[in-house]
Structure 1
Amino acid sequence: MKSREGGVGGVGATDTTFDVVERIGEDGEARVTELAGELGLAKSTVHNHLQTLRRRGYVVQDGDEYRLSLRFLHLGQRVRTRLPAYQLAHDKVTKLAEQTGERSQFIVEEHGRGVYMFREFGSDAVQTDSEIGKRIPLHATSAGKAILSALPESRVDSIVERHGLERYTDRTITDEAELREELALIRDRGYADNRGESTNSLWAVGAPVRAPDGSVLGALSVSAPGQRMKGERVRSELPDLLLAVANELELNVRYA
């Protein structure tokens, strides 16, 4: 088996292909020279991987620039439609956005990260970086902490060990003992909050959604600027609404 740099066959070559795909995805579009420099690979190696991806329909070449093709969108959509509660969750996200006027979302856990499956913007919602498929830290978001609170302790241990507790703002929980206390509180009251822990001035409330067997399907959440998340709205109005909608979704999944 040849090395990654060789770009021919084997696990190393597969790893390199995904490095190329992920880098183009981050940059939007890229040239061979740019990719080679960023990845520390020979230009010939990068070119070979790009041509394979182009032939298979996964990248589009425009002059000397390459971008990912819409084939990824097709594959992602097929994956999403096969997840439990797909259409039911979408309906509830729309309902939350309409009733609150804010941004709402449904997030699932995959490989220890949260993944945006759906998000909708209400009439007063602020535009933030929450594109579908984006991966987010679980410990620094309301939906993520809601999911963690519903996972077995052993799974939480493995996620923290793998990803750590990175700081995003001065409010992010970076101490494991503090996170455990927070998760216990979330289990007790049924919902999680995020008071500027992932993005300064952006607050959120989230609630887990469970499958009929008790496992966690994901979490619903509502996000808004901190100045709009004060008083009874953040203490009871939004938590009560989220818990009610999460319960509706759980019942719909059970009897679908």
Structure 2
Amino acid sequence: MEPNGDSGRSVKSNETLFAIIESLKETDGAGVTELADRLDLAKSTVHKHLVSLERNRYVVNEGGRYRLGLEFFNTGVYVRNQYEIYHAAKNRIDRLAEETDEAAWLIVPENGLGMFIYGVPRNESFSFDSTIGTWVYLHANSAGKAILAHLSDEEVQQVIDRHGLPAQTEQTITDREELFADLEDVRERGYAMNFQEDLRGLHAIATPVIRDGRPIAAVTIAGAANRLTEERIEDELYESLLEAVDDIELRLVYG
């Protein structure tokens, strides 16, 4: 059967559109020529897509320089509000941050990665604005490892096959066998730890939110390495974290 030419062109056009959006995000805005050079595209192609994006409020044209528009924010708020876990966890995460005086975050897995969808920064451990909406590799993050530990070995391998085990710092686990051993430790302890594996100077602890036997999210407490010592995690923070997640899971069941 001959491939559908119109379908192929449509897919290519969509890929170009996404590339333009990502490039605008990376550059904090750009003109047609800059985008065309950056993406190795014809200026007419870039301009056509930008006009369409502007017409639909996804970009703003400021004197020939285009930046992403607030329609993306509108869409993002809508998407987050569709997640029941966000509504079930939000107030409890606020409380957790207040109780521990450390940053508390909600991470949700999707397509083999994790995204920060809500959090409360404390002690300037994180920049709130630059963290919400950020994707993280599951293997290099305490929340991610808490989630992976409650997936089957086959599912974990699928994540590795898709995203690899890239190093974020010199402490990141980049070996498959080492990761599986760490995940076994997570299951035995009941929580995952991150000692500067995704960010230098940062320690974190996380445990998953389980629903119907599946990890649908993870809650993490994160802070400066000198404050979040292993001793404090074991003696103080784990109990607070577990209580918070228990409350969230109950709310998911009973509303």
For the superposition of Structure 1 and Structure 2, which TM-score range results when normalised by the shorter chain?
over 0.9
Equivalence for 1:61? 61
Equivalence for 2:162? 162
Instruction: Supply the distance in 2 between the matched residues of 1:239 and 1:40 (Cα, whole angstroms).
Output: 50
CA displacement at 1:214 relative to structure 2: 1.2
Amino acid of the residue matched to residue 139 of structure 2?
H
Instruction: Supply the distance in 2 between the matched residues of 1:244 and 1:3 (Cα, whole angstroms).
Output: 51
Equivalence for 1:77? 77
Equivalence for 1:103? 103
- Scaled by the length of structure 1, what TM-score is found? 0.93
Secondary structure, counterpart of 1:139 in structure 2: helix
CA displacement at 1:167 relative to structure 2: 0.7
Indicate yes or no: 2:228 matched with 1:232: no
CA contact (8 A) 2:172 2:198 kept: yes
Instruction: Supply the distance in 2 between the matched residues of 1:3 and 1:172 (Cα, whole angstroms).
Output: 41
User: How many residues in Structure 1 have an aligned counterpart in Structure 2?
Assistant: 250
Percent identical: 40
Equivalence for 2:203? 203
CA contact (8 A) 2:102 2:221 kept: yes
Instruction: Supply the distance in 2 between the matched residues of 1:185 and 1:57 (Cα, whole angstroms).
Output: 48
Amino acid of the residue matched to residue 194 of structure 1?
N
Instruction: Supply the distance in 1 between the matched residues of 2:210 and 2:202 (Cα, whole angstroms).
Output: 26
Instruction: Supply the distance in 1 between the matched residues of 2:45 and 2:148 (Cα, whole angstroms).
Output: 41
Equivalence for 2:247? 248
Secondary structure, counterpart of 1:145 in structure 2: helix
Secondary structure, counterpart of 1:194 in structure 2: strand
Equivalence for 2:25? 25
CA displacement at 1:84 relative to structure 2: 2.2
1:28-52 deviations in whole A, cap 9, x for unaligned? 2111122112211111111111111
CA contact (8 A) 2:209 2:245 kept: yes
Which ranges of structure 2 fall in alignment gaps of 5 or more residues?
none
CA contact (8 A) 2:85 2:217 kept: no
CA displacement at 1:78 relative to structure 2: 1.1
CA displacement at 1:58 relative to structure 2: 0.9
Indicate yes or no: 2:218 matched with 1:219: yes
Instruction: Supply the distance in 1 between the matched residues of 2:56 and 2:65 (Cα, whole angstroms).
Output: 17
CA contact (8 A) 1:24 1:30 kept: yes
Runs of 4+ in 1 over 3 A off after TM superposition: 1-4, 127-130
- Scaled by the length of structure 2, what TM-score is found? 0.93
Secondary structure, counterpart of 2:131 in structure 1: coil
Which ranges of structure 1 fall in alignment gaps of 5 or more residues?
none
